[in-house]
Structure 1
Amino acid sequence: MKYIEKNKSEDNDWFRLEANQEGTRWFGKCWHIQDRLKYEFEVIFDIPVTYPATAIEIALPELDGKTAKMYRGGKICLTDHFKPLWARNVPKFGIAHAFALGLAPWLAVEIPDMIEKGIVTYKDKTSASGDT
Protein backbone atom coordinates (compact mmCIF):
# COMPACT_ATOMS: atom_id res chain seq x y z
CA MET A 1 0.00 0.00 0.00
CA LYS A 2 2.85 2.42 0.79
CA TYR A 3 4.30 1.83 -2.69
CA ILE A 4 1.00 2.79 -4.31
CA GLU A 5 0.52 5.82 -2.04
CA LYS A 6 4.08 7.03 -2.71
CA ASN A 7 3.66 6.69 -6.48
CA LYS A 8 0.35 8.55 -6.41
CA SER A 9 1.73 11.37 -4.24
CA GLU A 10 4.65 11.80 -6.66
CA ASP A 11 2.39 11.59 -9.74
CA ASN A 12 4.30 8.47 -10.73
CA ASP A 13 1.57 5.84 -10.60
CA TRP A 14 1.37 3.38 -13.47
CA PHE A 15 -1.33 0.92 -12.45
CA ARG A 16 -4.71 0.68 -10.72
CA LEU A 17 -5.94 -2.52 -9.08
CA GLU A 18 -8.98 -3.81 -7.31
CA ALA A 19 -9.91 -7.25 -6.05
CA ASN A 20 -12.98 -9.41 -5.93
CA GLN A 21 -14.72 -9.68 -2.56
CA GLU A 22 -12.63 -12.69 -1.51
CA GLY A 23 -9.34 -11.03 -2.51
CA THR A 24 -8.42 -13.99 -4.71
CA ARG A 25 -8.79 -12.38 -8.16
CA TRP A 26 -7.31 -8.99 -8.95
CA PHE A 27 -7.91 -6.83 -12.00
CA GLY A 28 -7.29 -3.35 -13.25
CA LYS A 29 -5.16 -1.36 -15.65
CA CYS A 30 -1.46 -0.73 -16.09
CA TRP A 31 0.14 1.67 -18.49
CA HIS A 32 3.36 2.59 -20.21
CA ILE A 33 4.10 6.12 -21.39
CA GLN A 34 6.28 6.59 -24.42
CA ASP A 35 6.75 9.72 -26.51
CA ARG A 36 4.17 11.41 -24.25
CA LEU A 37 1.53 8.83 -25.25
CA LYS A 38 -0.14 6.59 -22.69
CA TYR A 39 -0.51 2.94 -23.71
CA GLU A 40 -2.99 1.31 -21.34
CA PHE A 41 -3.56 -2.42 -20.82
CA GLU A 42 -5.90 -4.61 -18.82
CA VAL A 43 -4.07 -6.51 -16.09
CA ILE A 44 -5.38 -9.54 -14.19
CA PHE A 45 -4.02 -12.15 -11.81
CA ASP A 46 -5.18 -14.70 -9.27
CA ILE A 47 -3.63 -15.22 -5.87
CA PRO A 48 -2.23 -18.79 -5.90
CA VAL A 49 -3.44 -21.20 -3.24
CA THR A 50 0.19 -21.53 -2.10
CA TYR A 51 0.75 -17.75 -1.86
CA PRO A 52 3.10 -16.30 -0.64
CA ALA A 53 5.37 -19.30 -1.31
CA THR A 54 4.34 -19.08 -4.98
CA ALA A 55 4.63 -15.83 -6.95
CA ILE A 56 1.57 -14.45 -8.69
CA GLU A 57 1.30 -14.78 -12.48
CA ILE A 58 0.44 -11.43 -14.02
CA ALA A 59 -1.52 -11.42 -17.27
CA LEU A 60 -2.12 -8.75 -19.91
CA PRO A 61 -4.77 -10.63 -21.92
CA GLU A 62 -5.02 -8.20 -24.83
CA LEU A 63 -1.32 -8.77 -25.61
CA ASP A 64 -1.65 -12.56 -25.67
CA GLY A 65 0.40 -13.99 -28.52
CA LYS A 66 2.04 -10.68 -29.43
CA THR A 67 5.45 -11.38 -27.88
CA ALA A 68 7.57 -14.47 -27.22
CA LYS A 69 8.01 -13.33 -23.61
CA MET A 70 4.48 -14.30 -22.73
CA TYR A 71 2.60 -17.48 -21.92
CA ARG A 72 -0.86 -18.60 -22.99
CA GLY A 73 -3.58 -16.33 -21.67
CA GLY A 74 -1.36 -13.27 -21.78
CA LYS A 75 0.71 -14.20 -18.71
CA ILE A 76 3.99 -12.33 -18.79
CA CYS A 77 7.23 -14.30 -18.53
CA LEU A 78 8.75 -13.85 -15.08
CA THR A 79 10.42 -17.25 -14.79
CA ASP A 80 14.09 -16.44 -15.40
CA HIS A 81 14.44 -13.18 -13.52
CA PHE A 82 11.65 -12.55 -11.05
CA LYS A 83 10.61 -15.95 -9.71
CA PRO A 84 14.08 -16.79 -8.28
CA LEU A 85 14.10 -13.37 -6.58
CA TRP A 86 10.63 -14.07 -5.18
CA ALA A 87 11.74 -17.49 -3.87
CA ARG A 88 14.68 -15.92 -2.01
CA ASN A 89 12.41 -13.34 -0.38
CA VAL A 90 9.41 -15.42 0.74
CA PRO A 91 7.37 -14.35 2.71
CA LYS A 92 8.48 -10.70 2.54
CA PHE A 93 7.39 -10.09 -1.05
CA GLY A 94 3.83 -9.29 -2.08
CA ILE A 95 1.76 -7.85 -4.93
CA ALA A 96 3.62 -4.51 -4.99
CA HIS A 97 6.93 -6.36 -5.37
CA ALA A 98 5.54 -8.46 -8.21
CA PHE A 99 4.49 -5.29 -10.00
CA ALA A 100 7.60 -3.21 -9.24
CA LEU A 101 10.16 -5.97 -9.85
CA GLY A 102 8.26 -8.12 -12.35
CA LEU A 103 5.69 -6.22 -14.39
CA ALA A 104 7.48 -2.84 -14.52
CA PRO A 105 10.70 -4.17 -16.09
CA TRP A 106 8.67 -6.35 -18.46
CA LEU A 107 6.65 -3.33 -19.62
CA ALA A 108 9.81 -1.20 -19.94
CA VAL A 109 11.41 -3.72 -22.30
CA GLU A 110 8.55 -5.35 -24.18
CA ILE A 111 6.16 -2.46 -24.85
CA PRO A 112 8.72 -0.16 -26.57
CA ASP A 113 9.81 -3.12 -28.71
CA MET A 114 6.21 -3.90 -29.68
CA ILE A 115 5.55 -0.21 -30.41
CA GLU A 116 8.65 -0.02 -32.62
CA LYS A 117 7.53 -3.14 -34.53
CA GLY A 118 3.98 -1.79 -34.93
CA ILE A 119 2.49 -4.64 -32.88
CA VAL A 120 1.11 -2.18 -30.33
CA THR A 121 -0.26 1.12 -31.58
CA TYR A 122 -1.50 4.14 -29.71
CA LYS A 123 -5.24 4.50 -29.39
CA ASP A 124 -6.87 7.58 -27.96
CA LYS A 125 -9.42 7.44 -25.13
CA THR A 126 -12.27 6.81 -27.57
CA SER A 127 -10.85 3.42 -28.59
CA ALA A 128 -9.13 0.49 -26.88
CA SER A 129 -5.46 1.15 -26.08
CA GLY A 130 -2.88 -1.44 -26.96
CA ASP A 131 -4.83 -3.04 -29.78
CA THR A 132 -3.39 -3.35 -33.23
Structure 2
Amino acid sequence: MKVPSKYFFLSQAGLHKVYIASENKSVVALSDTEPFCTASVVTEEFLITTMHCLMGLGQPAPAILPKNIWFAPEKFVPYNIFIKVGNHYKSELADEYREVHLVEAAYVFTEGLNYPMADIALLKNLDS
Protein backbone atom coordinates (compact mmCIF):
# COMPACT_ATOMS: atom_id res chain seq x y z
CA MET A 1 0.00 0.00 0.00
CA LYS A 2 1.40 3.36 -0.97
CA VAL A 3 1.02 5.97 1.76
CA PRO A 4 2.73 9.19 0.64
CA SER A 5 3.73 11.10 3.79
CA LYS A 6 2.27 14.40 2.59
CA TYR A 7 -1.13 12.67 2.37
CA PHE A 8 -1.52 11.70 6.02
CA PHE A 9 -5.17 10.79 5.51
CA LEU A 10 -4.12 7.83 3.36
CA SER A 11 -3.44 5.90 6.54
CA GLN A 12 -7.22 5.61 6.85
CA ALA A 13 -9.17 2.88 5.12
CA GLY A 14 -12.82 2.09 4.57
CA LEU A 15 -14.01 -1.51 4.88
CA HIS A 16 -16.51 -2.53 2.22
CA LYS A 17 -18.66 -5.64 1.77
CA VAL A 18 -18.44 -7.73 -1.40
CA TYR A 19 -21.18 -10.30 -1.99
CA ILE A 20 -20.42 -13.09 -4.44
CA ALA A 21 -23.48 -14.44 -6.23
CA SER A 22 -24.17 -16.60 -9.25
CA GLU A 23 -26.47 -15.19 -11.84
CA ASN A 24 -27.31 -16.81 -15.18
CA LYS A 25 -24.40 -19.28 -14.86
CA SER A 26 -22.00 -16.41 -14.14
CA VAL A 27 -20.33 -15.30 -10.94
CA VAL A 28 -21.18 -11.74 -10.00
CA ALA A 29 -19.56 -9.59 -7.30
CA LEU A 30 -21.83 -6.99 -5.74
CA SER A 31 -20.31 -4.39 -3.44
CA ASP A 32 -21.50 -1.57 -1.22
CA THR A 33 -20.33 1.90 -2.22
CA GLU A 34 -20.19 3.21 1.35
CA PRO A 35 -17.86 1.67 3.95
CA PHE A 36 -19.51 -0.27 6.77
CA CYS A 37 -16.50 0.28 9.05
CA THR A 38 -13.05 1.85 9.09
CA ALA A 39 -9.50 0.70 9.75
CA SER A 40 -6.07 2.25 10.16
CA VAL A 41 -3.07 1.18 8.11
CA VAL A 42 -0.30 -0.13 10.39
CA THR A 43 2.06 -1.52 7.72
CA GLU A 44 1.72 -2.51 4.07
CA GLU A 45 0.52 -5.91 5.26
CA PHE A 46 -1.65 -5.11 8.30
CA LEU A 47 -4.52 -2.86 9.32
CA ILE A 48 -6.14 -2.46 12.73
CA THR A 49 -9.89 -2.21 13.23
CA THR A 50 -12.51 -3.15 15.79
CA MET A 51 -13.69 -6.69 16.42
CA HIS A 52 -17.33 -5.66 16.06
CA CYS A 53 -16.60 -4.71 12.42
CA LEU A 54 -16.01 -8.40 11.71
CA MET A 55 -19.30 -9.57 13.14
CA GLY A 56 -22.15 -9.87 10.68
CA LEU A 57 -25.11 -7.63 11.27
CA GLY A 58 -27.61 -9.47 13.39
CA GLN A 59 -25.03 -12.08 14.40
CA PRO A 60 -24.58 -12.94 18.06
CA ALA A 61 -21.78 -11.19 19.94
CA PRO A 62 -18.14 -12.15 19.41
CA ALA A 63 -18.72 -15.76 20.40
CA ILE A 64 -19.01 -16.63 16.69
CA LEU A 65 -15.45 -15.53 15.87
CA PRO A 66 -12.31 -17.63 16.42
CA LYS A 67 -9.94 -16.18 18.99
CA ASN A 68 -6.17 -15.74 18.81
CA ILE A 69 -5.76 -17.40 15.39
CA TRP A 70 -5.84 -16.06 11.84
CA PHE A 71 -9.11 -16.83 10.03
CA ALA A 72 -10.86 -15.99 6.76
CA PRO A 73 -13.64 -13.49 7.61
CA GLU A 74 -15.92 -14.75 4.82
CA LYS A 75 -16.31 -18.04 6.71
CA PHE A 76 -18.12 -16.19 9.51
CA VAL A 77 -19.97 -13.40 7.70
CA PRO A 78 -21.91 -13.68 4.42
CA TYR A 79 -19.52 -11.45 2.44
CA ASN A 80 -15.86 -10.82 1.62
CA ILE A 81 -14.25 -7.65 2.92
CA PHE A 82 -12.22 -5.32 0.75
CA ILE A 83 -10.24 -2.30 1.85
CA LYS A 84 -10.20 1.11 0.16
CA VAL A 85 -7.11 2.91 1.40
CA GLY A 86 -7.47 6.68 1.51
CA ASN A 87 -9.71 9.15 3.26
CA HIS A 88 -13.05 7.36 3.00
CA TYR A 89 -14.89 10.61 3.86
CA LYS A 90 -13.65 12.36 0.71
CA SER A 91 -15.25 10.95 -2.41
CA GLU A 92 -13.32 13.44 -4.54
CA LEU A 93 -9.98 11.83 -3.61
CA ALA A 94 -7.99 11.27 -6.79
CA ASP A 95 -7.89 7.65 -7.99
CA GLU A 96 -4.09 7.72 -7.98
CA TYR A 97 -4.23 7.95 -4.16
CA ARG A 98 -6.94 5.34 -3.64
CA GLU A 99 -6.05 1.67 -3.46
CA VAL A 100 -8.32 -1.37 -3.19
CA HIS A 101 -7.22 -4.61 -1.49
CA LEU A 102 -9.00 -7.78 -0.40
CA VAL A 103 -8.78 -8.89 3.23
CA GLU A 104 -7.10 -12.30 3.36
CA ALA A 105 -7.34 -12.98 7.08
CA ALA A 106 -8.38 -11.47 10.39
CA TYR A 107 -7.11 -11.93 13.94
CA VAL A 108 -9.22 -11.23 17.04
CA PHE A 109 -7.58 -10.63 20.42
CA THR A 110 -9.90 -11.70 23.22
CA GLU A 111 -8.30 -14.31 25.46
CA GLY A 112 -8.49 -13.11 29.05
CA LEU A 113 -10.30 -9.94 27.99
CA ASN A 114 -14.00 -9.29 27.73
CA TYR A 115 -15.87 -7.70 24.86
CA PRO A 116 -16.43 -4.76 24.44
CA MET A 117 -13.26 -3.81 26.33
CA ALA A 118 -11.13 -5.88 23.93
CA ASP A 119 -12.76 -4.67 20.72
CA ILE A 120 -9.61 -5.04 18.58
CA ALA A 121 -8.86 -6.98 15.40
CA LEU A 122 -6.05 -7.09 12.84
CA LEU A 123 -6.67 -7.48 9.12
CA LYS A 124 -4.13 -8.98 6.73
CA ASN A 125 -3.98 -7.51 3.25
CA LEU A 126 -4.13 -10.16 0.51
CA ASP A 127 -1.92 -8.11 -1.83
CA SER A 128 1.00 -7.64 0.57
When normalised by structure 2's length, the TM-score is 0.26
Greater share of helix residues, 1 or 2? 1
Greater relative CO, 1 or 2 (CA 8 Å, sep 6+): 2
Greater share of strand residues, 1 or 2? 2
When normalised by structure 1's length, the TM-score is 0.25
